[in-house]
Chains A and B, each alone.
Chain A
Amino acid sequence: MAVAQEGASGGERQRPDRGPRWFVGEQTPLSTLTAVTGGAALAVLVAGSIAVLTIHGWTPSEQLAEGITSDAQRAVLMATIALGVLAAGLGMRFRRMPTRPSREASISGAVLGLQAIALAGLYLWFRAGDVETFARNFFEFQLVGEYLPRFARAALNTLILALSGEALGIALGLVLGVFVLSDRRVVRAPARAYINFFRGTPLLWQLSFFFFGIALGLRLNLGPFEVAILVLALNAGAYSAEIFRAGIQSIERSQFEAARSLGLSHFRALRLVILPQAIRRVIPPLTNEFVILIKDTSLVAVLGLTLSQQELMATGRDIFSQTFNATPFLISAAGYLAVTLPMIRFVTWLERRLRSGLTGIGA
């Protein structure tokens, strides 16, 4: 690759600093005040609320409800709104700012202020309701410690369901994705019918039909957990088939021609040239698909799993029916997020990496 030569002409200079230090140096007193006030509004809301609630105690729920409705919490919210209004008001003058950094800081300060006002407003609305009942139902945090081992087991089961479903589904989807692109209708049509069926019916129906219908009706000696993995795989297979199809179609036809003109057979050209490139390209959408599958495992709860087989959703429901308390659902949600959030970030990272083309993959 050609590298740009150092210019021999005069007037050379260092690349100017455009970092945080420069940004702060470009501020005016007013822009600084706006940004600090906006940040302070949010900080007061978060830190103040945590302090008030901690002083009153997070458990049991009566203490928490008392903290939420206390005068101290009210004072925190009022202070937040006052600071927020001030920041928003000061930020309205962003057009008068002399430099771009000071203008940006003014706008950001105003936006932070408005966000603090919105959150504090929601909180005010919430504490005007029946806080005690709500806290008793959703915020009974002593239950957490008691049932944590069951939730750990449940999280593991969710992962087992999702991972084995996805692994089998990808294998199935790769084959179906290739079939559906066949020039021969007799190969293409059944694969297309399969994909359309599994994409066109609800997963809940599929789980019920396979468990209560096929597995019991045919006396296949399969428990709900095994049926669940099977159905998740069949379902994921249909979706990943479409992903693989799109991935294969995104590879330029000329790659196939180049491979064939070297004397490779149709199958080998596919296996050695097309699929390796297609698979690199479909990793982000397949990971997205996996995130969806993780959430879809919650539907397995309808099959009546045994205690040791229960995943996050079934566990939350089970404990709810024992304790008549909805807090376990919050723990289920936390369990799902603990797995899905890192995956979502992974996809974003991967997509950026693929786009930059620095890795030699997908170029």
Chain B
Amino acid sequence: MNPDGSLARLEDVHKWFGADLYVLRAIDLAVAPGEVLVVIGPSGSGKSTLLRTINMLEEPTEGRVLFDGVDLTDIRTDLDRARAEIGIVFQQFNLFPHMTALRNITMALEKVLGLDRGEARERALENLRQVGLEERAGSYPGRLSGGQQQRVAIARALAMRPKLMLFDEVTSALDPELVKEVLDVMQRLATEGMTMVIVTHEMAFAREVGSRLLFMDHGRIVEEGRPREVFADPQQERTRQFLAQVL
């Protein structure tokens, strides 16, 4: 935990891509333990970049990123250790296509956490069971549907027993009938008390599951609050426009 009681914290974070693409502008954000933070906003608003900054897949051009009492922007910090404690699930699943579902999960358990093969296998199977895919343990990702692949990807992240889970538009690449199976897994995680940051276009899900909502536009946090309240009565004109278009 950070000194202020948050688990993850961005302090005055700015990010440029190249010389003139200014994607994050003065972001200050604290994620409390147990919180389910949902980030919405139009495409290009910087929400994915914000999420990827939390585990330093994107390095901020300026500002600090703190996770669990450690400054990740300090070059002396062992980023690999911090990343092992932050799970992330991507829009395109990003499973390793040359490994079975099981091996996708056990690989990092063995190589990063140092579990022996038996322990890793047991834990991986347990996590596959949680997402309802134990019987597909031996399948290669190419043989799984999008929804199944995404559930394996979630199991892979969860098996590391992370303190924080990041979800980057995880249902956007799925066929409509496969969205629910993935959202169900995330909803259960939320009720179990996992700390989560979720970038999503699923507004109903954001309202039901989020404990806090962030609306971003042009690299800034425009509005934040309890999801039901923001949806019912947005305070900013920009938020109102956006919600009118997507709801």
Contact = CB atoms under 8 A, between A and B. Distances in A.
Interface of A: 1-2, 252, 254-255, 257-265, 268, 272-273, 276-277, 280, 357, 360-363
B178 to A, nearest CB: 10
Interface residues of B, number: 30
B107 A258 contact: no
Interface in B51-89: 55, 57, 80-81, 83-88
Given A272-B107, A360-B140, A361-B98, A260 B83 contact: yes
A360 B103 CA distance: 14
Interface stretch (B38-46, B141-149, B236-244): B141-149
A363 B157 CA distance: 22
11 contacts: A258-B90, A262-B107, A262-B157, A262-B160, A263-B84, A263-B160, A272-B107, A357-B142, A361-B97, A362-B97, A363-B142
A257 B157 CA distance: 13
A261 B81 CA distance: 10
B112 A263 contact: yes
A312 B63 CA distance: 67
Given A252-B94, A255-B94, A277-B96, 7 more contacts: A257-B90, A257-B94, A262-B107, A262-B157, A263-B108, A264-B80, A363-B142
Given A261-B57, A263-B160, A272-B107, A363 B96 contact: no
Interface in B145-189: 145, 156-157, 160
A265 B160 CA distance: 15
Contacts of B144: 1
B179 to A, nearest CB: 15
A255 B112 contact: no
A261 B96 contact: no
Contacts of B83: 260-263
A2 B145 contact: yes
B211 interface: no
B98 A260 contact: no
A38 B84 CA distance: 70
B143 A261 contact: no
The 7 closest A-B pairs by CB, nearest first: A263-B84, A258-B94, A360-B140, A262-B108, A363-B142, A263-B112, A363-B97
B92 interface: yes
A363 B93 CA distance: 14
Contacts of A363: 97, 140-142
Contact of B55 (A261, A273, A361): A261
Contacts of A273: 96
Given A254-B90, A277-B97, A360 B108 contact: no
Nearest to B166: A261
Contacts of A265: 80
B90 to A, nearest CB: 6
A137 B117 CA distance: 68
A268 B111 contact: yes
Given A1-B145, A360-B140, A262 B84 contact: yes
Contacts of B143: 1, 360
Given A254-B92, A257-B94, A262 B57 contact: no
A272 B111 contact: yes
A273 B96 CA distance: 7
A264 B145 CA distance: 27
A360 B143 CA distance: 8
Nearest to A357: B142
A262 B143 CA distance: 23
B98 A277 contact: yes
B98 A264 contact: no
B135 to A, nearest CB: 14
Contacts of B95: 258
Given A1-B145, A360-B140, A261 B88 contact: yes
A359 to B, nearest CB: 9
A259 B107 CA distance: 10
Nearest to A263: B84
Contact of A276 (B81, B84, B98, B145): B98
Interface in B89-132: 90, 92, 94-98, 107-108, 111-112
